[in-house]
A and B are shown apart, each in its own frame.
Chain A
Amino acid sequence: MSEALIELREVSRRFGTPNGALSRLLGQRPAPIVHAVDHVSLSIRPGEVVGLVGESGCGKSTLGRLAAGILKPSDGQVFWRGRDRADFQAAALKSARLGVQMIFQDPQSSLNPRLRVAEIIGEAPRVHGLIGPEGFDAYVDAQMRRAGLDPTLKRRYPHQFSGGQRQRIGIARALAVQPDMLVCDESVAALDVSIQAQIINLFLDLRTELNLTCLFISHDLGVVEHVSDRVAIMYLGRIVEEAPAEVVFSHPNHPYTQALLAEVPRLENRRSHFGAIQGELPSPLHPPPGCHFHPRCPHAMPRCKVEIPKLREIAPGQKSACHLNDVA
């Protein structure tokens, strides 16, 4: 196994709620804490695409921002090329930051509306000395062409583009600083199916061309299955299963993964029977003790209510966090 490009080791991130800060000031009850990411370990090798799946609020974006270095962990360590990011000096930190770029769901709000496309794409490489003034135009043209955009449009503003084109601008901007890794957070979620397919194809092309390493966050299992080498499933702040994509989708081990897969509508499943999984998603402010999934799990045992199951290897390359794996 080659060395990880990035490794998150027992990383946690907690947030106090805004109300909590206020009530603390007023000397009331202690602030409610959200464990957005709770002791998560995950490593990604160079050239690997890891899909991160889970339902709304389970901590996917927070984990993505921790990996990108935009957020600092409350606990745990992030290793970049084998070195703890916390030990980085200013210069190393800056280059590590540039090394991971994020692409967001809503290209509209992540692109500065007052800048022309050429500036949006070319600014960071210019500031960081990747290109000099004379090479600027040619560089921007090349970045645009690579993302499937017509360079003659580079004097336009973001609002003059369609949603799919804006996502291409987002991709061009991220790739323009020549990052080692991308964190794509719901990057195709807001797009129509046919436009989504165009962006996924672009991503697959760029991946082969640039040997991209990527953390690909999505709530859409079909998309994740399509682009990922390995998949991690998250539930209320914890990774509950992690395995190569084909294993997760053909032999899911964790009851939550199994339920999720059973409920995903698929083109080939006609007149399905929906609704095998009961119950609401619990509030992240008050996650159930023990295994977070136990109130909804059809296999829950007494032990599940008190003891947190550890994520551990249950078959070569496949990890799962479920007490059922101890029984057998």
Chain B
Amino acid sequence: MTLELRDLHTHFDTRVGALRAVDGVSLSVRRGEVLGLVGESGSGKSVTGFSIIGLVDPPGRIVSGQVLFQGRDITGLPEPELRKLRGNRIAMIFQDPMMTLNPVLRIDTQRIETVRAHDNVSHVVARTRARDALGQVGIPSPDERLSSYPHQFSGGMRQRVAIAIALLHNPALIIADEPTTALDVTIQAQILAVVQKLAAERGTSLLWITHDLSVVAGLADRVAVMYAGRIVESGSVDAVLDRPMHHYTAGLIGSVPSRNKRGAKLLQIPGMTPSPLDRPAGCAFRTRCSAATETCAQEPPLTMPEPDRTLRCFHPVRI
């Protein structure tokens, strides 16, 4: 098991009380596996990602729960040790690649520095490695490109450079937070192709955070669906997308326009996501759920309705 989150709680202390951004998240990513973490905006996907690598900004903090990386509990590790893990064994890619790229440094400077910060190798070796990594993510003429500045790249190329940097140390885990959301379809496809290929070749585990169920369908092995700070359902992509058990997952799938529904009304989830400061007690989805009963005011326990599947719902969708 590359990554395991056990009942993770990350809160932000605000003037009006604790904002429970991550409210009891449990999930796992196996070696070489792609786990898609999907949910709508504000559901807590990014905070989950940041919690794993100890990058939650104050006033946010991990209140309870554990982050296990390759079996080792890394929750609350001192910053220098976390930093070592981050550059080396765990990499993160963001929606805005400029979060990992320094705009005023040429690509070669940044990459060679990254290599040398972690491995004690000569400048020449570092440069070769940096060039090869650019080539692997499909950047044409990587030698010339090494001496460019980030602004000289298109958005898609910048994202590929950020991925190349993330891959440099052959990390065991990559956390990707909506890295293709801002990109055009054909460019997104190129990025997905690169990631798919490299992860498969090297056995890298991927936590792919996105709001786009269709991307998860095409890329991931397993999926975890997040709503209001919790994983409401998880399992293999085929199982969850073809036979959703949680009513939120079913609603989400019905909301996606698709081939066989042309011109027909989409299934819609009534209402909107509750404010994180004012969530209904028990199942946070119950104010929008057509199957809700009084029981749902209690907290739905985490169950395993099938092998390799988790669910938090009292009255699962029946098919």
B257 x A280 contact (CB < 8 A): no
Q: Which residues of B contact A265 (CB under 8 A)?
A: 188, 192, 212, 214-215, 217-219
* B221 surroundings in chain A (CB, below 8 A): 271
One of B5-13, B22-30, B66-74, B261-269 at the interface: B261-269
A259: which B residues are within 8 A, CB to CB?
A: 186
Q: Which residues of A contact B300 (CB under 8 A)?
A: none
| B213: contacting residue among A193, A277, A278, CB under 8 A | A193
Contact check, A192 vs B186: say whether CB atoms are below 8 A apart.
Answer: no
| B120 touches A (CB below 8 Å) | no
CA distance A269 to B218 in the complex (A): 6
A266 in contact with B184 given A194-B252, A197-B269, A274-B218 (CB within 8 Å): no
Over the window 253-275 of chain A, the binary record of Cβ atoms lying under 8 Å from chain B Cβ atoms (1 yes, 0 no) is 00000011001111111111111
Question: Chain B residues with Cβ under 8 A from A274's Cβ?
Answer: 189-190, 192-193, 196, 218-219
- Taking CB atoms, residues of chain A closer than 8 Å to B41 are 192
CB–CB B267/A275 < 8 A: no
Establish whether residues A277 and B189, one from each chain, have CB atoms under 8 Å apart when the complex forms: yes
A-B pair number, CB within 8 angstroms: 139
Docked complex: B270-293 residues within 8 A CB-CB of A: 272-273
Chain A residues whose C-beta falls within 8 Å of the C-beta of B215 in the assembled complex: 265
Q: A259-B186, A265-B217, A268-B258 are in contact. Are A194 and B263 (CB under 8 A)?
A: no
Q: Does A103 contact B (CB under 8 A)?
A: no
User: Please, which residues of chain B bring their CB within 8 A of the CB of A201?
Assistant: 265-266, 268
Chain A residues with CB under 8 Å of B196's CB are 273-274
Q: In the assembly, what is the distance between CA of A265 and CA of B214, in Å? A: 5
Q: Which residues of B contact A276 (CB under 8 A)?
A: 189
Contact mask A174-214 → B, CB, 8 Å, 1/0?
00000000000000000011111110110011000000000
Q: How far is the CA of A51 from the CA of B186 in the complex (A)?
A: 19
Q: In the bound complex, what is the Cα–Cα distance between A226 and B157 (angstroms)?
A: 31
A55's contact among B184, B190, B213, B262, by CB below 8 Å, is which? B184
Q: Note all chain B residues with C-beta closer than 8 A to A273.
A: 193, 196
Complexed CA–CA distance, A55 and B190 (Å): 14
* Chain B neighbourhood of A193, CB < 8 A: 40, 211, 213, 252, 255-256
A10 at the A/B interface (Cβ < 8 Å)? no
Q: Check A317 for interface membership: any CB of B closer than 8 A.
A: no
In-complex Cβ contact of A221 among B156, B157, B185, B256 (8 A): B185
Cβ of A223 under 8 Å from chain B: yes
Is B263 a contact of A204 with CB atoms below 8 Å? yes
- Which single member of A266, A267, A280 contacts B253 (CB below 8 Å)? A267
| A222 part of interface (Cβ distance < 8 Å) | yes
In angstroms, how far is the closest chain A Cβ from the Cβ of B261?
7
Task: Kindly state the separation between the CA atoms of A183 and B238 in the bound complex, as whole angstroms.
Answer: 38
Write the nearest CB–CB distance from B295 to chain A, whole angstroms: 24
Q: Which residues of B contact A226 (CB under 8 A)?
A: 257-258, 261-263, 266
A267 to B187, CA, bound (A): 19
A272 to B72, CA, bound (A): 33
Cβ-defined partner of B186 (8 Å) among A162, A194, A223, A263: A263
Min C-beta distance of B137 to chain A, whole Å: 11
Q: Tell me if B232 is interfacial: C-beta within 8 Å of chain A.
A: no
Q: Within 8 Å CB of B186, what residues of A?
A: 55, 259-260, 263, 277, 281
Provide the residues of chain B in CB contact with A287, threshold 8 Å: none
**Given A201-B268, A245-B262; A267-B185 close (CB under 8 Å):** no
Which chain B residue lies CB-closest to A278? B190
| Residue contact B217 to A266, C-beta cutoff 8 Å | yes
- Smallest beta-carbon distance A33→chain B, Å: 20
Q: Give residues in B with beta carbon < 8 Å to A.
A: 40-41, 154, 156-157, 184-190, 192-194, 196, 211-215, 217-219, 221, 237-238, 241, 251-259, 261-263, 265-269, 272-273
Known: A192-B40, A273-B196, A275-B192. 8 other contacts (CB 8 A): A194-B252, A222-B257, A226-B261, A266-B214, A266-B258, A266-B259, A269-B218, A271-B219
What residues of chain A have their CB less than 8 Å away from a CB belonging to chain B?
A: 55-56, 162, 164, 192-198, 200-201, 204-205, 219, 221-223, 225-227, 245-246, 249, 259-260, 263-278, 280-281
Closest 8 CB pairs of A and B: A275-B193, A197-B255, A226-B257, A263-B189, A265-B214, A272-B218, A55-B184, A192-B40
Q: What are 13 pairs between A and B in contact, CB < 8 Å? A: A162-B272, A194-B272, A197-B267, A197-B268, A200-B257, A201-B268, A225-B262, A226-B257, A259-B186, A265-B192, A275-B193, A277-B189, A278-B190
